[in-house]
A = this chain, B = another copy of it.
Amino acid sequence: MSGMRIGEVAQASGTTAKTLRYYEDVGLLPDPDRSPAGYRDYGPEVLDRLHFIRRGQAAGLTLAQIGQVLAIRDRGQAPCQHVTDLLDTRLAVIDRQLAELAQLRTTIAILREHATTGDPATCSPEDVCRYL
């Protein structure tokens, strides 16, 4: 009984056939069965795996990091320590990004306010625009 072809998997997972072949190339997806004609023949479990990959990516992990976790999972060992380490690192990076973004927002917001207070008469480049 044949499963899904690459286009169906792409559709179902919201990616492209190109990307699926790429994932296979870099070892994120196992080599699938083939139909007599050589078409890739996927079982439904590939969708879980792609969901895992997508979630990992949404969490800011690189494909290499996701691949590490998948490799550990494929060997049947619980990668909890590994996962928590990765996630802790991610959290730290995100907190830093949030802080910097908030700071930048403040800077720009202040400038924007400078740019609006006063009509064109008082809005000279020297007074307003170069304080960005």
Contacts and interface: CB of A to CB of B under 8 A. Distances in A.
B84 A112 contact: yes
A73 B108 contact: no
Interface string A60-84: 1100000001101101111110011
**Number of copies of chain A assembled together:** 2
Size bracket of the A interface: 35 or more
Interface string A86-103: 011011001111101111
B107 A76 contact: no
B102 A98 contact: yes
Contacts of A12: none
5 contacts: A59-B108, A60-B108, A80-B115, A80-B129, A95-B105
